[in-house]
Amino acid sequence: MEDNVYSKYTDTDLIAMLYSGDHTAFREIYQRYFPVLHIHAYKRISDEEVIKDILQDIFASLWSKREDIDLKHTLSGYLYAAVSYKITNYYLKQKTENRYLDSLQHYLDTPDSVRTDFYVRHKELHQIIESEINALPLAMRRIFIMSRVDLMPHKEIASVLKLSEHTVRTQIKKALRILRQRLPLFTYMILCSEIGYSLKSWSHQDTNTNQSDKYKSTAQQDSIR
């Protein structure tokens, strides 16, 4: 009987109740939107398991982060946008995995002498990149590594370092501008395309140290200009 009452509420009413932790309101949102979101997702992905995982993630996030959600438009718009975002990420991940597998197969098919020469040249290029990144101002370098190597979103970086998102974006832009001026074009292209993967081990040489704690412990020592 109670559920029938909730079905009469508008999305705005349900969101207001969701903020206060109303499980029934959440269940009504789930039942109201899961079918239509499934149809929407199926138009772009025909894998039922993938669609199910995507929708479950979205609704789980809606509940767990309900107090932080800022709906600038409508609930339906928010959910449809979330589905599109998840699907885009899924395809990007698939593309990255396929590119890695193709690269691995190419590597295995390449003669040893050619692989050795490629490895040496590749290592030299990355040593150049690492050297230029290390030459960045300390605070800027930390933000750049958190963004481009640790792949942390701007909002999370700002939270860890107690900075504004605008400051984080500005520092990353400045770092890229400096690196573009210092590095040859080809090397800079490698930096932009591979840094999130190839330099990961370089930035985490101390595997026993939690990176977020390291950033927090030193963040207050640096000032961002």
Which residues of the chain are in CATH 1.10.1740.10 domains? 2-93
pLDDT on residue 73: 73
- Tens of pLDDT, residues 87-99: 888 888 777 666 6
207 pLDDT above the threshold of 60: no
- Tens of pLDDT, residues 129-174: 788 888 899 999 999 888 877 788 899 999 999 999 999 999 998 9
Give the predicted TM-score (pTM) of the model. Answer: 0.43
Tell me the CATH class for 2-93.
mainly alpha
**What is the pLDDT of the chain when averaged over all its residues?**
76
Give the span between the Cα atoms of 215 and 159, in whole angstroms.
Answer: 11
Q: In the numeric block, which tokens belong to residue 18?
A: 């969701």
Q: What is the mean pLDDT of residues 110-125?
A: 60
